[in-house]
């Protein structure tokens, strides 16, 4: 049985040791959040046993037998409901928790959550910056790339520090005792339908965060969320915030908050700010100084009448729609493709219809996307890979200025890249080499 443990992380090497040491925590999944949770647990005096499904065959497996050695089980967000490890854990009588919940139990300060299909990261960073400008100590964490457990295991873990947590539906699935001092929900659109077989399952995963709100804690959401709540007959809570509620005074003319989709983010931030009774100047300064995170509808080059936009973070159709809505006049040559996350390619084609000049498609989804495009009036070129699609779009745009080359893939990056970040860097490198 000793060989069942993941020795790479240096925690507990066998069951006998774990049992002798008393309280123990099993961590299923040793990605960033799992590793951070393990370090936090060790620092807090909890004993840790780790299991990693990506480890070599003889390094880490998890089964019903292993449950005897642990007092509670932390399930990483990467394990979907059908995963046998997660099913085994949930079928036991052992408490099962998520990484964010484990970190929250150790956190001393306030926690404000930010969720949504798109826009989470930008809004999280804006709020954290505004809190800091107002004189508070605040840190952005969670799905943004810094695990909450990492922050909880740092000197920043004080009663005076505010954690602004970006929260994904994956993280929300297992929350039970998680407590939020406030929640902002940017928008809602079909996404991750490879994991959620019905749109209602995706919505309900995020809705669990609403039940995590403390009594009287503020909850604000966008118009699309309001429509989803009504369509799925969920109990109305919080307040919907329309884009029209935004105060644009004092923002520079080139501010991203003057346009979609960031305009809606600022409207939500303003609603929370007013509810908390904080001075408007801090939020205004944060908005003025704000820089959109990389690869989110970013103008990376202009040449011979052609604008090159890097929107690699667009991993769903909703994000593509937002990017197209932000373009000014000119021909649009759209580059899209990657790995499907569920959803009907015809829905994406409906978004593209009448708004782009030509499509350059690539990746695993290209055959199904090609079939949908054949039913439309959109000309398209099916490329052998992402680089070929970028070069083809650039060639077409340069022959038809003024024009936009829009890299807003609409699908996940994992057919050819490790992340949307790597995909974004790749786009930049191709553009700069032309």
Structural tokens at position 284: 């205004």
- Give the CA-trace dihedral at 343, 113, 225, 90, to 10 degrees: 50
Q: Report the distance separating Cα 207 and Cα 198, nearest Å.
A: 14
Domain 298-433 has CATH 3.30.70.20: no
CA 138, 143, 146, 151 torsion: positive or negative?
positive
Query: Which residues of the chain have a pLDDT value below 70?
Result: 1-22, 55-60
Alpha helices in 57-98 (DSSP H): 84-91
Q: Report the distance separating Cα 239 and Cα 208, nearest Å.
A: 17
CATH 3.40.50.720 in the chain, residues? 2-97
Closest CA to 43 of 148, 154, 165: 154
CATH class of 101-289: alpha beta
Cis amide prior to 402 (ω within 30 degrees): yes
Q: Report the distance separating Cα 336 and Cα 348, nearest Å.
A: 10
Structural tokens at position 380: 């398209």
| CA angle in degrees (0–180, nearest 5) for 116-272-236 | 60
Q: Report the distance separating Cα 406 and Cα 320, nearest Å.
A: 9
CATH 3.90.190.20 in the chain, residues? 298-433
Q: Report the distance separating Cα 300 and Cα 310, nearest Å.
A: 7
Look up the CATH superfamily of 2-97: NAD(P)-binding Rossmann-like Domain (3.40.50.720)
Q: Report the distance separating Cα 251 and Cα 258, nearest Å.
A: 8
Q: Report the distance separating Cα 11 and Cα 232, nearest Å.
A: 45
DSSP 8-class letter at 414:
T
Q: What is the pLDDT of residue 344?
A: 96
CA 212, 215, 220, 223 torsion: positive or negative?
positive
Q: What is the pLDDT of residue 60?
A: 58
Query: Within 13 Å and on the Cβ side, how many CA atoms surround 280?
Result: 11
Residue labelled with tokens 């799992």: 34
- Please name every residue paired with 113 in a beta bridge, in sequence order, or none if there are none: 165, 183
CATH 3.40.1190.10 in the chain, residues? 101-289
pTM above 0.85, yes or no: yes
Contact 341, 170 (CB under 8 A): no
Closest CA to 320 of 231, 389, 393, 409: 409
Q: What is the pLDDT of residue 22?
A: 42
Q: What is the pLDDT of residue 2?
A: 35
- pLDDT of 4-47, one tens digit each? 333 333 343 343 344 334 479 999 999 999 999 999 999 999 99
């Amino acid at each position: 049985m000793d060989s069942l443990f993941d020795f790479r992380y240096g925690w507990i090497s066998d069951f006998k040791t774990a049992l002798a040491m008393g309280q123990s925590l099993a961590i299923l999944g040793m990605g960033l959040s799992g590793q951070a949770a393990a370090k936090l647990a060790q620092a807090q005096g909890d004993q840790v046993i780790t299991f990693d499904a990506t480890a070599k065959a003889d390094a880490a497996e998890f089964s019903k037998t292993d449950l005897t050695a642990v007092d509670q089980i932390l399930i990483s967000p990467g394990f979907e409901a059908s995963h046998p490890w997660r099913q085994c854990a949930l079928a036991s009588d052992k408490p099962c928790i998520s990484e964010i919940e484990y970190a929250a139990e150790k956190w001393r300060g306030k926690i404000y959550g930010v969720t949504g299909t798109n826009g989470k990261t930008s809004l999280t960073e804006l709020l954290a910056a505004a809190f800091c400008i107002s004189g508070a100590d605040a840190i952005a964490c969670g799905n943004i790339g810094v695990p909450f457990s990492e922050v909880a295991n740092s000197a920043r873990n004080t009663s005076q520090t505010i954690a602004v947590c970006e929260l994904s539906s994956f993280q929300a699935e297992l929350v039970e005792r998680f407590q939020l001092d406030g929640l902002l929900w940017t928008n809602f659109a079909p996404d991750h339908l490879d994991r959620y077989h019905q749109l209602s399952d995706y919505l309900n995963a995020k809705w669990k965060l609403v039940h995590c709100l403390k009594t009287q804690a503020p909850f604000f959401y966008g118009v699309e969320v309001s429509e989803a709540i009504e369509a799925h007959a969920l109990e109305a809570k919080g307040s919907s915030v329309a884009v029209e509620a935004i105060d644009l005074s004092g923002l520079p003319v080139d501010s991203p908050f003057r346009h979609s989709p960031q305009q809606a983010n600022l409207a939500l931030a303003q609603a929370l700010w007013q509810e908390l009774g904080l001075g408007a100047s801090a939020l205004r300064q944060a908005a003025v100084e704000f820089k959109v995170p990389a690869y989110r509808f970013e103008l990376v080059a202009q040449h011979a009448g052609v604008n090159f936009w890097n929107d690699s973070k667009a991993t769903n159709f909703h994000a593509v729609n937002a990017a197209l809505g932000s373009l000014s006049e000119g021909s649009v040559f759209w580059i899209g493709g990657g790995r499907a996350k569920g959803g009907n390619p015809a829905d994406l084609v409906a978004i593209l219809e009448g708004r782009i000049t030509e499509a350059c498609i690539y990746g695993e989804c290209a055959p199904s996307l090609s079939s949908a495009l054949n039913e439309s009036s959109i000309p398209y070129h099916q490329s052998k890979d992402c680089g070929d699609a970028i070069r083809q779009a650039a060639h077409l745009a340069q022959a038809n200025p003024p024009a936009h080359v829009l890299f807003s893939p609409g699908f996940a990056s994992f057919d050819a890249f490790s992340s949307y970040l790597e995909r974004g860097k790749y786009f930049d490198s191709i553009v700069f080499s032309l």
